[in-house]
Amino acid sequence: MKDLAQGHVSLVGAGPGDPDLLTCKALARIQSADVVVYDRLVSPEILALIPADTRRIDVGKMPRCHRVPQDAINAMLVDLAREGLRVTRLKGGDPLIFGRGSEEAEDLRKAGIGVDYVPGITAAQGMAASTGVPLTHRGLATGVRYVTGHRARDGALDLDWASLACEDTTLVVYMGVANIAEISARLLANGLPPDLPVLAVASATTPRERRLVSCLGAIADDIALAGMEAPVLFVIGHVVSLYGAAVLAEALACDGAGMAAYA
């Protein structure tokens, strides 16, 4: 136990997985912490940056298996800070985009615990840089929307489907691999065309990254056949039509061995 009367919690975004995409501030928080409480989506490459003598607590959630409920995580953070510890709460992506960072901060503030945020590159931005597919592009998409494809406690996906079914907007779906059949069916029912391109990217920016190009009418079947596992990000919209050009440009920048890989 530390001698400090009160500890502090930093809610830190670990980014999409590539350690080179960490902010300097995030790395400093990781390496100066007394204890790191981390999620399942924090990549092994990021976890390797935690000093060997730093205490680690895994509170990662699996689909339909929340072995450490969110309320218990909130209480754990309060208890650790009350021991006088510097706590880094490490989350994949950004703590304020589908990361429940604000929920944890609310409980910490109620308990009188000091808390701050360290932003991270969210998965959609990492995916765009990794694949070369922009989130907006003149003539193809005038905006972008991020939505979750999974509700807490497996609740119904009560999204505003009519609003989301807009061809002028890029739709990025987080945590949607288990519900992509329902998501695509709802968007089709609300007017999006079945040939609208879709890009699915698993474990974006990491050595485990996988990509699949499909269309809205076929994405559910294609994902099932491909056996892609979470985390998978879905990009739905006309910007996906630029993917082929991005891959070709990447291939041309490679040596002969790289060209063969893209052939």
The residues assigned a catalytic role are: 39, 61, 175
CA separation for the pair 110, 224 (Å, rounded): 44
Distances (CA, A) of 222 to 71, 125, 229: 36, 24, 13
Token pair belonging to 151 = 């509700």
CA 7 → CA 95, 107, 133, 196, distances in Å?
A: 20, 15, 42, 50
Question: DSSP letters of 109-145?
Answer: HHTT-EEEEE----HHHHHHHHH---S-BTTTBSEEE
Q: Do the beta carbons of residue 34 and residue 2 sit within 8 Å?
A: yes
> Coil, helix or strand for 10?
strand
| DSSP letters for 60-95 | --BTTB-SS-HHHHHHHHHHHHHTT-EEEEEESB-T
